[in-house]
Structure formats: C-alpha cells, structure tokens
Amino acid sequence: MKAPAYSVAKEGLPFILLSGFATLLCAILQYRWAAFAGLAVTAFVTYFFRDPERVLPEDSGVLVSPADGKVIRVEELHDDRFLHQDVLRISIFMNIFNVHVNRIPLAGTVRRVVLQPGRFYAADQDKAALHNEHCAVIVETAAGQQYAAVQIAGLIARRIICRAEPSDQVRTGERYGLIRFGSRVDVYLPKGSVAMVNVGQKVRAGETVLARC
C-alpha cells in the first residue's frame, strides 16, 4: 500500500474540481453572488481534504493517533467484535474542521479488514460504536500483539474510505484512508496498554502519542 503524495487527499479532487467548475461557470455568466458562494464552497472543500505532512515521535515503540480531533473516551471494556478480549478503547471525534486523513497507529501486518454496514447516528454518541457503519483494520505488530483501528461513520459522514488490505505491511503514521465530512475513529488495544492521552485532549494523526502497548 503506497501513501499518496498529495497535499490534498486524492478522494477530494472530484469535489474540488466540481465546485471550482461551477464557480467558474457562474463567474462567466456574471452570477456574481453565486460565484462568490461557489468560491467559498471550493475553498472549504479544499481545506477539508487537506493532507499535511506529519512528524512521527522519536520513540518508535509507541502507538500514535490515527486521526485529528478530540479524545472523547478512554475506557477499559470487553471487545467481542475485533480482538475478542479485554481491551483499552480510545475514541477520537473528528469535526468538519479537522484533517480527515487517517493514519496507521503502529507498524505491523494487516490481518483483517472488516467493513460492516450500519446506521448513521451522531458519531459522539455511545450507540454509534455499536450500530453505525464502520470499517475495522486489525493489525499485528512485530511483538505479536494485535490492535484494531475502527473508522466509524457519523450523522453527516456517509463514506468511509480504507485503502488497507489483508497482508499489507504498514508503517507507523502511514496514510490508509479517510472519512468524508466528520466522524470518529476508535482504537482497541490489548489489555495492559497504557493510555497517554486524556478525555478532552486534542490530538493529531501521526504525531500525538496515544498509548504504549
């Protein structure tokens, strides 16, 4: 799996080109206010799909955040869907102003990719993790431990993009997908993992240390 070399995520290019073309057409036809509105939409869509470079932490053994956003949950629970064991779950909520490109939390081998259709509750609600459409990437690290990074659709976000495939060798901080127009990413870690973030903390994909396994 190769990381795309774009300052804007390639999945956003059709939206940017469409809104840009509509803006140009309105300008040519001298629909002044429509052209201004189109320019604003084009600017926002370009901003939404931005894909900045990130600097990984020097400690290669830590798990980094898969998403930009705010930590809304840090909790221990029993997971019977992905890892089938007691886990530490860390949930990150992305609003529409966050970077939406998702990154691999820790290097390893992709063992499974599970796409589950579902509903579209608000992503910050408890029932979103259970009932919303989601895509889980289960990765086995060099130490033989497994973790799951789960992209969860939300009330507005209706399109999950995951480029990871089973047997992929993935690197810490590597881009692997995105969720269009706001949502949430949950990370399920094996029991004994230590969270390095708190509820309410702002995190950055590929840079913020999320936990130690």
Using N-to-C axis directions, what is the helix angle for 13-28 and 32-48, rounded to 10°? 170
Q: What is the dihedral of CA 93, 94, 99, 101, to 10 degrees?
A: 70
Q: How far apart are CA 48 and CA 99, in angstroms?
A: 7
Q: What is the pLDDT of residue 102?
A: 95
Beta bridge partners of 77: 87
Q: Does the structure show a pLDDT above 50 at 4?
A: no
User: 3 vs 11, which has greater pLDDT?
Assistant: 11
Give residue for tokens 């990154």: 103
Closest CA relative to residue 104, chosen from 142, 131, 65, 159: 65
CA 104, 197, 79, 143 torsion-angle sign: positive
pTM: 0.85
If you average pLDDT over residues 58-85, what whole number do you get?
Answer: 93
**For residue range 26-64, what is the model confidence (pLDDT) as tens digits?**
999 989 999 999 999 999 888 888 899 999 998 878 999
Task: Summarize pLDDT for 193-210 with one digit per residue, the tens.
Answer: 999 999 999 999 999 999
Quick one: which of 121, 157, 135, 30 has its CA closest to 81?
Answer: 135
Across 114-120, average pLDDT: 74
- For 147, phi then psi, to 5°, come to -140, 165
Residues involved in catalysis? 183
pLDDT, tens digit (0-9, with 9 covering 90-100), for 125-163: 665 566 678 899 999 999 999 999 999 886 655 578 899
Beta strand residue intervals within the chain, DSSP E: 62-64, 69-79, 85-94, 101-103, 108-116, 134-140, 146-152, 160-162, 169-170, 175-179, 183-190, 194-195, 202-203, 209-212
